[in-house]
Structure 1
Amino acid sequence: MEWQNDLEHWLEPFLKGLGNKTRRRMCPAYIAGLIGPGDRKSIQPMAARVDAISYDRLHHFIGAGVWDSAPLEATLWQQADDLVGGDNAWLIIDDTALPKKGNASVGVAPQYASALGKNANCQTLVSVTLASGEVPLMLSLRLFLPESWTSNEARMIKAGVPEQFRQARTKPELAIEEIDRIAAAGVRFGCVLADAGYGLSAPFRQALSARGLCWAVGIPKHQKVYPADVKLVFPVAGRGRPRLRHIPDIKSVAAHTMLEGAKWRRVSWRRGTKGRLAARFAAMRVRIADGAPQRIGSAGAQHMPGEEAWLVGEHRSNGERKYYLANLPADTPIKDVAGAIKARWICEQAHQQLKEELGLDHFEGRSWTGLHRHTLMAIMAYAFLQTRRLAQAGRKKKSPRATTSAQPASSPASHH
């Protein structure tokens, strides 16, 4: 099969990092198993479909073999950067849930699964995707450990959680750690995007700004903001000691309240397969109320004004209203602000294809190492298919009459 020859060739730079000969055979076999036909992409059925590969060897390679995934990751990130990296690329933070039975698999617990829209027994992976235009490439999937795990050292040791990953971390904290690793590796991107699950975290937004990164994130409608021209004043004390600290001359209000009087207009951010994509947007400059807390009378805690940013509201055609913050420059056209906000959806296409076609959620092992190696193999398989698809699209552009060769069973479909 032609795609298998392509895969062997594409994997050559990755295999250098694997050292011994058996591992260099197991890696292509595993990835070919994820790409090839068959409903189940767990180790047993994959091994059964390939005569030359024994279940024991494939199982050992993923679950117990002594090899470091860092060189493979470095090669993957380099390939992704070559394909879609640059100032116009997005780095998209999200998470995805892998439903699981029982409670022995690492990180499994009843928790909110955004894809299902409800609580479910699952593992949650924080995902980082590099995307440009219509092309997403997943860079990293990192397991989130809920409190029921981080509070139980013995349970983590049994599942093989490395010591440096045993402290409790929030999903936004994990995301920042991954962004730091990816940026340190030289991957180029222009702006970080995330949904309200991350955007509601002031430490997450502030960590991005502290790193000099552009960001556009969803927020809950009750996120507090100030007008951009808020002033800090020394209040006059009626009696008692004079106030030592200045305070804002106006109270912060919820994002949705701030936009009530704003001008809403129809904005189109790009052309989709069914014509231009558009919705009604309102945007204004604000100061985010995420500075130090201050108490004013009995009105409860107010926060000091933080950095200036765009506050954006979106009215969707189905009546839904969504709210966002973006630290893009003040002279950014609203069309570009909307385009940044809407570019996040491409990562959901990647999640869906990784699950439906590449067996991301079929792994049956229980250990930390096994799970992360399986997810790395799945995102390498995805990167291979995207590379191949782009090469074929390029060939098609050059010679419109050329017929494309047969696609592997799970070639990513173009995004609508």
Structure 2
Amino acid sequence: MSGRGTRTSEMRFAAYLEGLASVIGHADRKAPLRDYCVGLMTCAGRKSVEPMAAATAPERTAAQHQSLLHFVGSGTWSDEKVLGKVRAMVLPAIERRGPIEAWIIDDTGFPKQGRHSVGVARQYCGQLGKQDNCQVAVSLSVANHNASLPVAYRLYLPKEWTEDCDRRRKVGISAEAGFQTKPEIALEQLRWACATGLPRGVVLMDAGYGNNSDMRTEITALGLTYVAGLLSSTTVWAPGTGPLPPKPWSGRGRPPKLMRRNRQHQPVAVKTLALGLPAKAWRTITWRQGTNEKLTSRFARVRVRAAHRDYWQSTRRLEEWLLIEWPKGEDQPTKYWLSTLPEDVAFRTLVDMAKLRWRIERDYQDLKQEVGLGHFEGRGWRGFHHHATMCIAAYGFLISERETIPPSGARRTRPIPLARIPADRRPRGSAVADPTSYSKFDRNDAAAARTGARPHPGEMSLLCDQLRLPPRPSFVTQ
């Protein structure tokens, strides 16, 4: 990046921070806001408060530590307003490369020790791939084929937390925050996005959400279409079939209204249906250029009706697309989706939209590896969400700067010089090998599942290195 380009980037960064500061509230929060963002983008290793304080103010680390800790842990500024400003500044950059195409729902886990951090419980952690002690947050991202941005983020609270008044009080959970399942949190985020007027897209979700028939029904009621992952055991009515109509009325009592089944007339599991499809139903489709090769697999699609508890329905459910992936060399199909995209949608478009969900994996990977989303060490509800908001803000700026990145082989500009930290200094939480920094992410790891999931390897790290940040303000607020 040339000196002139670097200066331009510095000006954009300063303007970006001014935009965030305009909604942060009290002017005294401007300095810690800037320093927190700088720390997230430039601090090597663990991005918890103490290492960031040492990196951004080495001559007065103790005072800086208190300033950043108060800002993120106790500050009464609004996450919603800051995220709204991030959207206002970043979405135009994303949409310059194409309109918003998808709203992506997912969750991510953060391994935690002990029982005092807000929301921590023994539950499924995608990062570890098993049940373990962790926190889990649900998010909604808007995306197109070039970029994506988280727009809503909320910690999931297990029942053991919502029903324990003492634990709630200690970590500052508001009285309004009752128990909600992850799909319920996701639906609340979708309703909010509709009410806010965000550019609409197809709702994409994995089987953890897509297998919930109530959620799919609610998404349709919002006027949204979806491509929803399914478990192989999900039942549907095969093409040309459906539940039996209500029994004929005998003339006595109320006329029957509910759909019926009998022994000979039953829905089938999507896996059973897939295994019974003829060879001509399968097509090889390429949906994206990966890092090293085109991403290609075999797919089939058929029109079906969802069957879950339709014997409590008075009318048949509408037909949807069932999309099935069966890669060559596999013994059986590997993935299934239901979609309310139009009946005349092109086959490749249907596949392409189902596969666009990898963008959320990219979000989580970069948010965790590059800006320290999982490195918050506080225990409180407010601090957990404040830290995530700052991570999303830093990530948003990096996204908006991607167009200025030179080819990966170009010479790197020297990063902003940070003061030397003594070699024997070991801030709290900065273990030699941080277990959360370079591990797998989410329940579907992008790097492991698809070697081509990241079209520009190291792109975010390169941008972090090349971004030369403006000098910090001369005043400090503690």
> Which residue in 2 is equivalent to 1:253?
268
Deviation at 1:291, TM superposition (A): 5.4
Query: 1:402 deviation in Å?
Result: 9.2
Aligned pair 1:127/2:154, yes or no?
no
- Report the 3-state secondary structure (helix = DSSP H, G, I; strand = E; otherwise coil) of the residue aligned with 1:312: strand
Q: Is 1:108 paired with 2:126?
A: no
Letter in 1 for 2:21: L
Which letter does structure 2 place at the counterpart of 1:366?
Answer: R
Name the stretch that deviates more: 83-92 or 154-163: 83-92
Among 266, 281, 287, the residue aligned to 2:299: 281
- Residue 282 (structure 2) pairs with residue 264 (structure 1): yes
Q: What residue is the counterpart of 1:32 in the other structure?
A: 38
CA contact (8 A) 1:328 1:337 kept: yes
Equivalent in the alignment of 2:213: 202
Contact map agreement 1:237 1:243 (CA 8 A) in 2: yes
- Amino acid in the other structure paired with 1:110: R
Farther-moved stretch of structure 1 (224-233 vs 318-327): 224-233
Which position in structure 2 is the counterpart of 1:212? 223
Q: Distance in 1 between matches of 2:173 and 2:329?
A: 44
- How many Å apart are 1:290 and its aligned residue? 3.4
- Paired residue for 1:381? 394
Shift of 1:245: 3.3
One-letter amino acid matched to 2:230: I
| Helix, strand or coil at the partner of 1:17 | coil
> Pick from 173, 190, 195: which aligns with 1:179?
190
TM-score under structure 2 length normalisation: 0.77
In the TM superposition, 1:72-83 aligns within 5 A as: 72-83=82-93
In the alignment, which residue of structure 2 is the partner of 1:156?
168
The alpha-carbon distance between structure 1 residues 408 and 92, as it changes in their structure 2 partners (threshold 3 A), is: farther
Letter in 1 for 2:355: K
Cα deviation code 1:117-171 (max 9, x no counterpart): 1011110011222221131222222100112212212211221111221x11111
Pick the structure with more strand per residue.
1
Alignment-derived partner of residue 449 in structure 2: none
User: Any residues of structure 2 matched to 1:11-90 within 5 Å, and which?
Assistant: 11-51=17-57, 54-85=64-95, 88-90=100-102
Q: Using CA pairs below 8 Å that are at least 6 residues apart, which structure has the higher relative contact order?
A: 2
Q: Distance in 2 between matches of 1:323 and 1:102?
A: 37
Superimposed CA distance per residue, residues 52-75 of structure 1 (whole angstroms, 9 cap, x where no aligned partner): 661111111111122222221111
Is the contact made by 1:96 and 1:351 (CA closer than 8 Å) also made in structure 2?
Answer: yes
* 1:290–1:303 CA contact under 8 A, matched in 2: no
Q: Any stretches of 5+ residues in structure 2 without a counterpart?
A: 1-5, 418-457, 463-478
User: Could you list the runs of 5+ residues in structure 1 that have no partner in the other structure?
Assistant: 295-301
Q: 1:246 to 1:107 in 2, by over 3 A?
A: closer
Q: Which moved more, 1:11-20 or 1:177-186?
A: 177-186
Match of 2:338 in 1: 325
CA-atom RMSD, angstroms?
Answer: 2.9
Alpha-carbon distance in 1 for matches of 2:249, 2:192:
50
Matched, 1:143 2:161: no
Q: Distance in 2 between matches of 1:228 and 1:303?
A: 20
**1:287 and 1:306 in contact (8 A); partners too:** yes
Task: Give identity over the alignment, percent.
Answer: 34
Is the partner of 1:54 in helix, strand or coil? helix
| Shift of residue 408, structure 1, vs aligned partner | 7.6
Tell me: CA distance 1:174–1:24, structure 2 relative to 1, closer, same or farther (3 Å).
Answer: same
Q: 2: distance between equivalents of 1:202 and 1:257?
A: 20
Deviation of 1:316 after TM superposition, in Å, equals 2.7
345 and 317 in structure 1: CA distance in 2 versus 1, 3 angstrom threshold: farther
Alpha-carbon distance in structure 1 between the residues aligned to 2:161 and 2:23: 32
Secondary structure of 2:137's counterpart equals strand
CA distance in 1, matches of 2:291, 2:271: 32
Deviations 1:340-375 (A, max 9, x none): 111101211221111112111111110000000000
C-alpha deviations, 1:223-265, integer Å up to 9, x for none?
1111354354344699x99982353573211111222332122
Q: Distance in 2 between matches of 1:325 and 1:348?
A: 20
Letter in 2 for 1:79: M
Partners of 1:106 and 1:366 within 8 A in 2: yes
| Count of residue pairs the alignment pairs up | 400
CA distance in 2, matches of 1:80, 1:193: 21
Q: Which secondary structure state, in structure 1, belongs to the residue aligned with residue 36 of structure 2?
A: helix
CA contact (8 A) 2:103 2:200 kept: yes
Which letter does structure 2 place at the counterpart of 1:25? Answer: A
1:183/1:243 CA distance change after superposition, 3 Å = closer
Q: 1:324 to 1:242 in 2, by over 3 A?
A: same
Indicate conservation of the 8 Å contact 1:40/1:359, yes or no. Answer: yes
- 8 A contact 1:248–1:304 mirrored in 2: no
In the TM superposition, what whole-angstrom CA distance separates every residue of 1:84-133 from its partner, at most 9, and x where no partner exists?
Answer: 35755211111111111111000001110123210111100112222211
